[in-house]
Amino acid sequence: MVSAVSCPRLGRGLLLNVFGEYKDMPLVNIVVALIVVGLALWLINNFIPMASSIKTILNVVVVVAVAVWVLQAVGMWGRVTSYKFVN
């Protein structure tokens, strides 16, 4: 199995499929997913009435989840989780 850190091409991510294998994920798919998530969040923020505190929590959760997903998609999340501090 290929680890997410060993992706040699910049701009290409790794996607874990159902069988546990890593496959390349094109940059276009990442950009389209970001556009869809951003549009959905904008629609929710503008057209669904809710308290501002709930809206803020929703925005923070979505932004953090998307940031983690992008880091995983470009193969950088493995480096973040395996980072060790030196004394």
Enumerate the domain spans of the chain: 4-81
Neighbours of 79 (CB within 10 A): 11
Task: Using a cut of 0.85, tell me whether the model's pTM lies above it.
Answer: no
Nearest alpha carbon to residue 15 among 36, 35, 33: 33
Q: What is the pLDDT along the chain (87 residues), one digit of tens a residue?
A: 444 444 444 444 455 555 555 566 788 999 999 999 999 999 999 999 999 999 999 999 999 999 999 988 888 887 777 777 776
Would you give the end-to-end CA distance of the chain in angstroms?
A: 32
| 42/38 Cα distance (integer angstroms) | 6
Nearest alpha carbon to residue 67 among 58, 54, 76: 76
